[in-house]
Structure 1
Amino acid sequence: MVNVSIARRYARALLDVATEAGRADAVSDQLSTFAGLLADNRELADVLFNPAFTASQRSRVVEGLIQASGALEPVLANTLRLLVDRNRLAYLPDIARLYRDMADAQAGRVRGHVTSAVPLTLDAVQKLSESLRALTQRNVVLEPRVDPNVLGGIAAQVGSTLYDGTLRTQLEQMRRELKQR
């Protein structure tokens, strides 16, 4: 199991340096993309995480990825090099998750998701985000999801709070009320 306290230290240090440079959000996006690349590409992850490969082999692969990405933030490129040098690249998924959470907290953002029976338009998601901002007093970043079991309406979860306006829930509530009578 990966030690989260180590990942937290790297995430905090990266956030501090990125914030000083005024690039915290750009680093967050690129770090999430890089971590997603490793999660989606098993062969690449094997080369970078497998101790059978030497540190210099892993370093060359990371340098190749940095070059291929083009405009990778310098602070992130340096962090990736440091992780390879210290044999801590396996912490990258946790570092990315913790960094995003810390950057969101620093910016006063909260993440959530909205579930609907059909895909929502970008405008509808934006309006819902603004409504939730008024309720939570924080900037809300929503990830839309589609679930046909919802039947109609939407459910939005922001942090640990669920705002459920789905037809399915309303029908279930009506069923319970009718049973009680």
Structure 2
Amino acid sequence: MADEFRTTEVGDRYAQALFDLAEETGALDAVRADLKSLRAAHGESADLRRLLTSPVLKAEDVSRGLLAIADKARFNGTTRNFLGLLAQNGRARDLMGVIVGFERLYAKKTGVVAAEVVSAQPLSTTQLTHVRSALLKALGKAPELTARVDPSILGGLKVKVGSKLFDASLKTKLDQMKFALKRA
């Protein structure tokens, strides 16, 4: 998946620090909402991705950029301060890993089951309802569903719940068929 992120040791440490601070300040849900917005923006904005990963930008410039984003989006003060600190420490490239780590900590604390559904084209409300009810049956609890479009999968769906991935995409099926034909 194009938007699949993994945590790192550094990302996990920062995620834990942010989670603890957000919990202490009573801003857990606000910080979570801010991080969800950042994750969505990361998927949509090449400029944000460059800001986070460019080796030529100085930490102060990255910090100014992230703080400007936080101010424009009216992020919670805890989130805003954290973004500034992350950039100042030269760790802006770890932001997506921090978000994944934060989500994992949030799910563990609250019992929320997060699921990401990836399709080649936007799913209708009815289709999302069917996916949600199928996941409810499989998981035993209602998932918090995030839908994303990735035309490269050609068709079908990819559903990720936690670390488990159900891949029924046309691209994967074609790749498997191509591999099987090569072996024959």
Q: TM-score, normalised by structure 1?
A: 0.65
Name the amino acid aligned to 2:84: R
Shift of 1:14: 0.8
Runs of 4+ displaced beyond 3 Å = 113-116, 118-122, 124-139, 143-150, 155-162
Q: Quick check: 1:62 aligned with 2:46?
A: no
Query: Secondary structure of the residue that 2:144 maps to in structure 1?
Result: strand
Shift of 1:39: 3.8
Aligned to 1:17: 21
Q: Quick check: 1:6 aligned with 2:10?
A: yes
Aligned partner (choices 105, 109, 133) of residue 106 of structure 1: 109
Shift of 1:9: 0.6
Name the amino acid aligned to 1:61: G
CA spacing shift, 1:34–1:115, aligned 2, 3 Å: closer
Aligned to 2:176: none
Name the amino acid aligned to 1:37: A
Q: Any stretches of 5+ residues in structure 2 without a counterpart? A: 1-5, 167-184
Name the amino acid aligned to 1:93: M
Q: Quick check: 1:52 aligned with 2:56?
A: yes
CA spacing shift, 1:3–1:136, aligned 2, 3 Å: closer
Q: Any stretches of 5+ residues in structure 1 without a counterpart? A: 163-181
Q: Deviations over 1:116-174 (max 9, x none)?
A: 9x95537x856975785576454422345899977xxxx98755497xxxxxxxxxxxx
CA spacing shift, 1:22–1:131, aligned 2, 3 Å: farther
Shift of 1:51: 2.7
Name the amino acid aligned to 2:109: Q
Shift of 1:37: 2.0
Greater Cα shift, 55-64 or 102-111: 55-64
CA spacing shift, 1:107–1:37, aligned 2, 3 Å: same
Query: Secondary structure of the residue that 1:22 maps to in structure 2?
Result: coil
Query: Secondary structure of the residue that 2:114 maps to in structure 1?
Result: strand
Aligned to 2:95: 92
CA spacing shift, 1:21–1:125, aligned 2, 3 Å: farther
Aligned to 2:175: none
Which one has the largest radius of gyration?
1
Name the amino acid aligned to 2:82: T
Aligned to 2:37: 33
The Cα RMSD (Å) is: 3.7
CA spacing shift, 1:99–1:134, aligned 2, 3 Å: same
Aligned to 2:169: none
How many matched pairs? 157
